[in-house]
């Protein structure tokens, strides 16, 4: 009979009294840590060990991570394919497909969906020459998927290209533990009331800055037009700003910035929520304020064009509310209460430097009589393609009524 000494050693070590006493101790410590931080299991895996593999040369091959919006209109999905050489532009990227029955995008039969590469960024996780590829989704019959709002957004942007529409969006979000509780909040209760946290510094005021810093740098590396970041009014709530971006770039850059945030949070074992009112009650909600201007508005005397646009917006409030969250206004109803620096969802209002209005004209824009205005209604989980498209349709294509025009 042959004795497998490795096995014997293994059995001995697991049966050894020292091991037996240490094992529950080690396990319980890990469980305690997980419970306390409410971070994910995969975040406990050694990132230093992973780094050893990420240093391996990859030859001539390039990894392209294809990203798309799923059937919820707010969830993101991704998968990776190997390319034989570095793509120089979007034309070098092949179409791909996926199973839409697993992404709330189609029923079982005819579940193949197409991924159409639309915008390419550097990959801050796998680094050069690897890519992030934002895709449009088409159904089996090559018609746009229900949540592919990019296709019509792009169409109206092209119609008004000569007016050079610029956008800037302020993305607010909340960092949550994997248990859904805001990161760093006491497990059975609330932190001190709002006041010290906005733009705060210090361990008792800024909850989760590591994520914000990692995300900011990763966006810069990727080529996302991120222009700033700050801590928000509610603890564990943060904001980043993207812009100014012209036309379709606004949606592309914001979606990729969101993807990068989810991916950074995954590494840290926490979750980024874009819910517009993550904590009910006396806590600020989360929006996605959108700055908008045209070439005319940015030139001397542009205030006239700004006021004209606001006049058109005032007549189309319901259409915009429907376009400003993925549930046709239901999500935003929890946030736009008229309190906590928001307007009331049922009323349209506009004013200079008024944070409680639907539309705010920044003070310096009122003084210089040119610049841009801010639509404060979009929800944090809005689709930026839907928001920017609605602004163009109403302000520049002079659409009226509750339905968009078919061009
Ligand atoms: N759609 C837009 N049109 C014009 N300018 C924009 C737009 N979006 C963002 N901006 C930029 O945002 C900047 C305003 O930021 P900032 O100076 O911080 O404003 P404030 O002083 O009012 O806080 C302007 O300088 C402008 O260049
Ligand atoms: C939007 O405008 C406000 C001023 O009204 C400014 O503070 C902010 O930086 C701008 N954000 C973006 C993303 O352009």
- Using alpha carbons only, what angle is made at residue 287 by residues 284 and 293, rounded to the nearest 5 degrees? 140
41 and 96 in a common domain: no
Residues 222-253: tens digit of each pLDDT: 999 999 999 999 999 999 999 999 999 999 99
| CATH at residue 299 | 3.30.590.10
Asked if 229 and 303 sit in the same domain, the reply is yes
**377 and 230 together in one domain:** yes
271 CA distance to ligand 2 centroid (A)? 26
Terminal Cα distance for the chain, rounded: 83
**Ligand 1 touching residue 208 (CB < 6 A):** no
Q: Which is higher by pLDDT, 187 or 59?
A: 59
**23 and 89 housed in the same domain:** no
Q: Are residues 103 and 87 in the same domain?
A: yes
Residue 406 covered by a domain = no
On whether both 210 and 311 belong to a single domain, the answer is yes
pLDDT score of 341: 86
389 and 285, same structural domain? Answer: yes
175 within a domain of the structure (yes/no): yes
State if residue 358 touches ligand 2 by the CB under 6 angstroms criterion.
Answer: no
pTM of structure: 0.89
Quote the number of domains for the chain: 3
Whether 92 and 49 share a structural domain: no
Ligand 1, residues 372, 391, 395: which to mutate, most atoms within 8 A of Cβ? 372
Instruction: Please tell me whether residues 46 and 188 are part of one structural domain.
Output: no
- Spacing, Cα 302 to ligand 1 middle (Å): 14
Which pLDDT score is estimated for 5?
46
Per-residue pLDDT tens digits for 330-381: 999 999 999 888 999 999 999 998 889 999 999 999 999 999 999 999 999 9
From the CA of 67, how far away is ligand 2's center (Å)?
A: 27
Instruction: Compute the half-sphere exposure of residue 210: CA atoms within 13 Å on the CB side of its CA.
Output: 11
Q: How many CB atoms lie within 10 A of CB 323?
A: 26
Instruction: Kindly report, residue by residue over 280-336, the tens digit of the pLDDT.
Output: 988 999 999 999 999 999 999 999 999 999 999 999 999 999 999 999 999 999 999
Cβ–ligand 2 contact at 362 (below 6 Å): yes
Reading the block at residue 98, the tokens are 């996926």
Place of tokens 């995969």: 42
Give the structural domain span for 385.
Answer: 157-395
Distance between CA atoms of 161 and 230, rounded to whole angstroms? Answer: 32
pLDDT for 109: 76
21: pLDDT strictly greater than 60: no
11 pLDDT above the threshold of 70 = no
Same domain, 19 and 71: no
Q: Are residues 80 and 134 in the same domain?
A: yes
pLDDT band, very low/low/confident/very high, at 30 (cuts 50, 70, 90): very low
Across the range 81-105, mean pLDDT stands at: 96
What is the distance in A from the centroid of ligand 1 to the CA of 367? 14
Q: Tell me which long-range contacts 344-351 makes (C-beta under 8 A, separation of at least 24).
A: 345/321, 347/317, 348/313, 348/314, 348/317, 350/310, 350/313, 350/314
Region 57-61: what's the mean pLDDT?
97
Protein residue whose Cα sits closest to atom 11 of ligand 1: 244
């Amino acid at each position: 009979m042959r004795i497998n000494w490795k096995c014997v050693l293994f059995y001995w070590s697991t049966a050894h009294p020292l091991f037996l006493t240490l094992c529950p101790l080690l396990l319980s410590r890990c469980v305690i840590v997980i419970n306390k931080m409410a971070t994910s299991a995969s975040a406990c895996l050694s990132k230093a060990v992973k780094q050893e593999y990420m240093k391996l040369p990859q030859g001539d091959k390039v990894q392209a991570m294809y990203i798309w919006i799923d059937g919820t209109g707010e969830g993101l999905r991704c998968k990776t394919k190997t390319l034989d050489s570095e793509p120089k532009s979007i034309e070098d990227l092949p179409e791909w497909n996926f199973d839409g029955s697993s992404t709330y995008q189609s029923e079982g039969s005819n579940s193949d969906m197409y991924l159409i590469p639309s915008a390419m960024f550097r990959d801050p996780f796998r680094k050069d020459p690897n890519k992030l590829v934002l895709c449009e989704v088409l159904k089996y019959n090559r018609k746009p998927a229900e949540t592919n709002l990019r296709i019509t957004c792009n169409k109206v942007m092209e119609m008004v290209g000569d007016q050079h529409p610029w956008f800037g969006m302020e993305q607010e979000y909340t960092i949550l533990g994997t248990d859904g509780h805001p990161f760093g909040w006491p497990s059975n209760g609330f932190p001190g009331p709002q006041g010290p946290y906005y733009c705060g510094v210090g361990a008792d005021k800024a909850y989760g800055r590591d994520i914000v810093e990692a995300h900011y740098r990763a966006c810069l590396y990727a080529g996302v037009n991120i222009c700033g970041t700050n801590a928000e009014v509610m603890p564990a709530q943060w904001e980043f700003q993207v812009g100014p971006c012209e036309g379709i770039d606004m949606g592309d850059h914001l979606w990729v910035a969101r993807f990068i945030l989810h991916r950074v949070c995954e590494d840290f074992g926490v979750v980024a929520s874009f819910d517009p009112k993550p904590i009910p009650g006396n806590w600020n909600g989360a929006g996605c304020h959108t700055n908008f201007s045209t070439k005319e508005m940015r030139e001397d005397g542009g205030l006239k064009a700004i006021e004209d646009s606001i006049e058109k917006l005032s007549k189309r409030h319901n259409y915009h509310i429907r376009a400003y969250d993925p549930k046709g206004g239901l999500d935003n109803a929890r946030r736009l209460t008229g309190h906590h620096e928001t307007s009331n969802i049922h009323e349209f209002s506009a004013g200079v430097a008024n944070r409680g209005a639907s539309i705010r004209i920044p003070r310096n824009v009122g003084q210089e009589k040119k610049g841009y205005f801010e639509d404060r209604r979009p929800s944090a989980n809005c689709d930026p393609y839907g928001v920017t498209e609605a602004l163009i349709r109403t302000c520049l294509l002079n659409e009226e009524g509750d339905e968009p025009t078919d061009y």
